[in-house]
Amino acid sequence: MKPGVVAICAVAACLACLPARAEEAIKIGLITARSGAFALYATSAEKGEILAAEEINKGGGVGGRKIEFLTGDSKSSPEEASRLYREFSAKNVALIIGNVGSAETAAISALAREARIPTFATVGYARSLTEELGHDYFFRPIVNSRAFARPLAERLAKQTYKTYCTINNDYTLGHDVNDDFLRALKKLRPDATVLPGCEFWVPLTTTDFTSYITAILSKRPDAVVFSGLVGPSGRAFISQAKSFGLFKMTAGAHASIGWPGNNDGLRKQDVPENLVTATDYPYPPLKTPSNVKFFDAFKARWSELPLSEGAYGYATVHFVAKVFEKDGNENAADFVKTAASVTYDHPAAGPLKFRPFDNQVNMGVWIGRLAWDAQDDRPGMEDIEYVSGDTYLPGKDEVESLRKDKGK
Amino acid sequence: MLITLQIVSALVTAGILFMQAAGLTLIFGVSRVLNLAHGSLFMLALFMSYAVSMQVISGPAGFWIALLVVPLAMAAIGVVVEVLLFRRIYQASILVQVLLTIGIIYVVGDLVRLGWGLTSKSVPTPDLFGAPIQLMGIFIPAYYAFVLAVSAAVAALLWFIVQKTTWGLLIRAAAQDRTMSSALGVNPSLLFTSVFGLSMWLVGVAAVLYAPIGGASPGSDVESMIEAFAVVVIGGLGSIWGAIAAALMIGFIKAFGILVLPQYAMSFVFVLMAVILVIRPRGLFGAAE
């Protein structure tokens, strides 16, 4: 181990709380993409985790023992994430949390299978992580990418929309999200069609959509679905479409532009009239006691608003503390057995459960319309309804058959 | 309605493309240096216009002040970069030129990351252009009409400078025969520096106008470099008229390609580029070597 390669620090080493105890702290490794493509999401998750650990330590710790984090920056690279994973497992951490994207999560999950250390992922939502690639030691406390298809299709199928246009970034996730959505829509609404010549694929960095928008305008579809337009492309499309009045004529739908990390930077005047979307952490924040408590604490601690990942990180650390408390030890095999019997208390979605056969939490999404949240001065949603994870997650048999096919 | 709308969108796309690419072609025409960092400087200007209109002056005047200040700041950066770096490599091999400009890509990329982080920023459309206007029987966003008008004015201004002023005469002379023009007493250093400044001023104008449409994002360097190069390759390196013609061709090919074969629309531009390179390798208006 090279000293100094990565800053290892006891972030949550309690400052103003317990008198020092003889017992050793419980060590948890945090692998966070502090730089690179996932930095925005990952750092919010880490802030949620630190906040939760501070709360636990202040309240007396886990059976009197404090939680201590070892942290490292994965730089959004799977190689670096793997290196940190090995480093932390050599230091005998009780558990590892990966605040990293899907590719990095897949890399550390493969290591977790060998190392037999319970490992949580707060940012990677690729479906396969808990399905084909899943195993006993990998836990996903966040939604699965299936949440992008079915809930949106259900909401749109209830409307009178029959003719659709689609526009997405031309890359794997863009195609997957689009195909999954159209498959789900066709099942619910066999009469729905994508208009001929109205399926557009644009390169990832595209920000000039003028010609696409005028083409869509001239085709006059009932709805335009663009769930696979991500990052700058998604925001640019929305603001340009609004300036052409596209959403006055046609409904818009995007499966994840309601996610606070995805609409960060969207301005008030860009929020269109009629854009159906979903979120896994709604703004304005829900007024439930658990959410108000989390939201206020996060804002006070970090002087910024939590993203979905902030809520996940917070709930994850509280959850693992409850499991350790119940077991009375940090034995990994005990942890895996106990996990399904302890509730995962998501601040906004309430008590949830990890499904014992795939360790995927049954988290759902809120579906509604994109709107401006004046009280927090950021984009938010209105007219929302909660769609439970149980409605779109695969059943036990499906997960088992996916894993078996993978093994062949 | 369908056709008119698509024509307008083609013209807007062409206007932005032309302003992005004009500086690249001017620099090459005079100094024969292919500035691969052109897109990076465009990205820097995008973030500068975000900084001026959102961070320094947040208010309706922000955009107009950015339109004044950012191009001038970019021109100043252009002059400094030319004097400190480019001046040393005009006689060097093409490989050295490529290495230097690639180096600038990395430096500018990191500067933008340091200054504004990793997330993309959006810039509001100026209040004056809030409502759509009616043009040729259809409604288009007023801001797009403004961009169209400014790009036409910039093209006219460039034409005037290049064709009607002494400076333009020197630019044309140097583009035609660099050795002969310096033999006749043209001070090449001064000419190159001023052309670099003018080119970066154009990049600045293009960026301030584009920021409210596409925002400023860390990946915009690559996108804008590819597009500017497509314009310059099709139009002919060093030719302003070529840049105008190529920007219009690309604008129309994109806008109408999308209507005919949407799934292949993106490749049309590069197919055109390949065809031009095969039948007329120096581009439409490029000077024969």
Q: Would you place residue A232 in the very low, low, confident or very high pLDDT band (cuts 50, 70, 90)? A: confident
Is the pLDDT confidence value at B232 over 80?
Answer: yes
Interface A–B counts its CB contacts (< 8 A) at 116
Which chain A residue has its CA at the smallest distance from B225's CA?
A205
Residue B185: which residues within 8 A CB-CB, separation 6 or more? none
- Antiparallel, parallel or unpaired: β A365-373 and A275-279: antiparallel
Cα separation, B109 vs B224, whole angstroms = 14
Q: Report the C-alpha dihedral over residues A112, A118, A124, A125, rounded to 10 degrees.
A: 110
State the average pLDDT over residues A53-76.
94
Q: Do A265 and B261 make contact, defined as CB atoms within 8 angstroms?
A: no
Question: What distances in angstroms separate CA A240 from CA A60, A222, B246, one per listed residue?
Answer: 53, 19, 24
Which tokens in the block code for residue B178?
């660099």
Sheet with strand A193-202: strands edge to edge: A193-202, A163-169, A223-225, A251-254, A275-279, A365-373, A378-387
Chain B contact for A265, CB < 8 A?
A: yes
Per-residue pLDDT band for B137 (boundaries 50, 70, 90) equals low
The helix (run of H) or strand (run of E) holding residue A343 is: none
The mean pLDDT value of chain A amounts to 89
Residue B138 sits at the chain A interface (C-beta within 8 Å): no
Gap between the Cα atoms of B280 and B257, Å rounded: 23
Contact yes or no for A98/A31 (Cβ under 8 A): yes
Burial class (CB in 10 A: 0-12, 13-18, 19+), A24: exposed
> How many C-beta atoms lie closer than 10 Å to residue B134's C-beta?
9
For residue A284, whether the previous peptide bond is cis, meaning omega lies within 30 degrees of 0, is yes
Considering only CA atoms, which of A240, A209, A281 is closest in space to residue A48? A281
Residues 22-51 of A with CB under 8 A from B: 35-37, 39-40
Query: Is the model's pLDDT at B265 over the cut of 50?
Result: yes
Please answer whether residues B223 and A205 qualify as being in contact, where contact means their C-beta atoms are separated by less than 8 angstroms: yes
Mutate to test the interface with A, among B122, B147, B220 (most CBs of A within 10 A): B122
Q: Over 70: is that where the pLDDT of A1 sits? A: no
Give backbone dihedrals phi and psi of A26, rounded to 5 degrees, phi first.
-85, 120
Cβ separation of B262 and A218 shorter than 8 Å?
A: no
Residue B61, pLDDT above cutoff 90: no
CA gap B82, B88 in Å, rounded:
9
Hey, are the CB atoms on A218 and B265 less than 8 Å from each other? no
Nearest alpha carbon to residue B139 among A246, A209, A208, A166: A246
Share of chain A above pLDDT 90, in %: 69
Q: Residue A130 and residue A143: Cα distance in Å, rounded?
A: 11
- B40 touches A: beta carbon within 8 Å: no
A323/A321 Cα distance (integer angstroms): 5
**Contacts (Cβ under 8 Å, ≥6 apart) of A121:** A97, A98, A100, A105, A108, A109, A129, A138, A139, A140, A141, A142
- CA–CA distances in Å: residue A311 to residues A8, A32, A37, A101, A196: 24, 15, 20, 17, 42
Q: What is the DSSP letter of B86?
A: G
Asked if A266 and B255 come within 8 Å (Cβ–Cβ), the reply is no
**Cα of B90 to nearest chain A Cα, Å:** 32
Q: Is A196 on the interface with B (CB under 8 A)?
A: no
| Chain A: residue whose CA lies nearest to B127 | A269
Residue extents of the structural domains in chain B = 2-279
Nearest residue, CB atoms, A235 vs list B215, B223, B255: B215
Residue in A36, A215, A231 closest to B120 by CB: A231
Q: What does the pLDDT look like over A344-371, one tens digit per residue?
A: 999 999 999 999 999 999 999 999 999 9
Helix (H) or strand (E) holding A92: none
**Mutating which of A35, A73, A171, A208 best tests the B interface, going by the most B Cβ atoms within 10 A?**
A208
Q: How far apart are CA B1 and CA B259, in angstroms?
A: 13
Domains, chain A:
3-144+287-364 (3.40.50.2300), 146-283+365-391 (3.40.50.2300)
**Lowest-pLDDT range, A122-126, A374-378, B283-287?**
B283-287
Test A244 with B219 for CB contact under 8 angstroms.
no
DSSP state, B187?
A: -
B289 burial level (CB within 10 Å; 0-12, 13-18, 19+)? exposed
First-to-last C-alpha distance (Å) of chain B: 45
Element (H, E) at B66: helix B62-84
What six digits make up the tokens of A91? 């230091």
Output the pLDDT for position B221.
84
Q: Is the pLDDT of residue A15 over 50?
A: no
Name every chain A residue with its beta carbon within 8 A of the beta carbon of B258.
Answer: 200, 211-212, 215
Whether the predicted pLDDT of A17 surpasses 50: no
Q: Evaluate if pTM is beyond 0.95.
A: no
Which of B122, B143, B219 has its CB closest to that of A243? B143
Mean pLDDT of all residues in chain B? 87
| A217 contacts A183 by C-beta, under 8 angstroms | no
Cα gap A342→A330, rounded to integer Å: 15
Q: How close A37 comes to chain B (CA, Å)?
A: 7
Which residues of chain B are within 8 Å of residue A239 when distances are taken between CB atoms? Answer: 122, 213, 215
Helix/strand/coil for B217? coil
**pLDDT tens digits for B8-59?**
888 988 998 998 899 898 888 888 888 899 999 999 999 999 999 877 877 7
Rounded to whole angstroms, how far apart are CA atoms B158 and B155?
Answer: 5
On chain A, the residues whose CB falls within 8 A of the CB of B222 are 205
- Alpha-carbon span A236 to A382, nearest angstrom: 22
- β pairing state of A163-169 and A223-225: parallel
pLDDT at A322 over 60: yes
Q: Is the pLDDT of residue A212 over 70?
A: yes
Task: Give the pLDDT band (50/70/90) at residue A191.
Answer: very high
**Residues of chain B contacting residue A199, judged by C-beta atoms under 8 Å apart:** 262-263
Predicted pLDDT of residue A116 = 96
Mean pLDDT across the stretch A5-18? Answer: 41
pLDDT at B288: 62
**Residue B238: its H or E element:** none
Is the minimum CB–CB distance between A218 and chain B shorter than 8 Å? yes
Residues of B in contact with A203 (CB under 8 A): 223, 266
Query: Which residue in the block uniquely carries the two structure tokens 């644009």?
Result: A202
Q: Worst-scoring range by mean pLDDT, A6-10, A265-269, B60-64?
A: A6-10
Please give the structure tokens belonging to residue A234: 């998604």
Q: What is the DSSP letter of A377?
A: T
Q: In this model, does residue A403 exceed pLDDT 70?
A: yes
Q: Dump the DSSP string for A274-312.
A: SEEEEESS-SSPP--HHHHHHHHHHHHHHSS---HHHHH
Model confidence at A8, pLDDT cuts 50, 70, 90, reads: very low
User: What is the distance in angstroms between the Cα of B174 and the nearest Cα belonging to chain A?
Assistant: 35
Taking Cα atoms as reference points, which of A51, A104, A48, A109 lies closest to residue A260?
A48
- Angle (CA) A114-A119-A125 rounded to 5° is 115
pLDDT at B103: 94
Q: How far apart are the CA of A269 and the nearest CA of chain B, in angstroms?
A: 8
Nearest CB to A232: which of B5, B215, B260? B215
Please check whether residue A366 is in contact with residue A387, taking contact to mean a CB–CB distance below 8 angstroms. yes
* A226/B contact by beta carbon, under 8 A: no
What is the mean pLDDT of the segment spanning A199-211?
85
φ, ψ of residue A58 in degrees (nearest 5): -65, -35
DSSP string, A107-132: HHHHHHHHHT--EEESS---GGGTTT
Reply yes or no on whether the pLDDT at A258 is more than 60. Answer: yes
Return the SS3 of A169.
strand
Residue A394 DSSP class = -
pLDDT of residue B289: 54
Q: Quick one: pLDDT band at residue A174, thresholds 50, 70, 90?
A: confident
CB contact under 8 A, B119 and A40: yes
- What's the pLDDT score for residue A18? 44
Supply the pLDDT for residue A365. Answer: 95
Q: Would you state the pLDDT for residue A167?
A: 95
Tell me which of A13-22, A77-86, A384-393 is least confident: A13-22
Locate A120 and state its tokens. Answer: 């949580």
Say if CB B283 and CB B276 are below 8 A apart: yes
Tokens for A237, please give them: 């499309």
Whose CA is closest to A139, among A173, A108, A114?
A108
**pLDDT surpassing 60 at residue A4:** no
Average pLDDT over residues A143-161: 91
> Given CA atoms B5, B10, B16, B19 in this order, what sign does their dihedral have?
negative
Phi/psi of residue A4, nearest 5 degrees: 85, -5
CA distance, residue B258 to nearest chain A CA (Å): 7
- State residue A7's pLDDT score: 40
pLDDT computed for residue B256 by the predictor: 86
Q: Do B120 and A266 touch (CB under 8 A)?
A: no
Residue with tokens 């966040």: A142
List chain A residues with CB under 8 Å of B219. Answer: 204-205, 231-232
- C-alpha to C-alpha distance for A21 and A27, rounded to whole angstroms: 15
Type of residue numbered A96:
I
Interchain contact B268–A (C-beta under 8 A): no
Contacts of B91 (CB under 8 A, 6+ apart): none
Chain A interface, best mutation among B119, B256, B270, by max A CB count within 10 A: B119
Please state whether beta strands A251-254 and B138-141 pair in parallel, antiparallel, or not at all (unpaired). Answer: unpaired
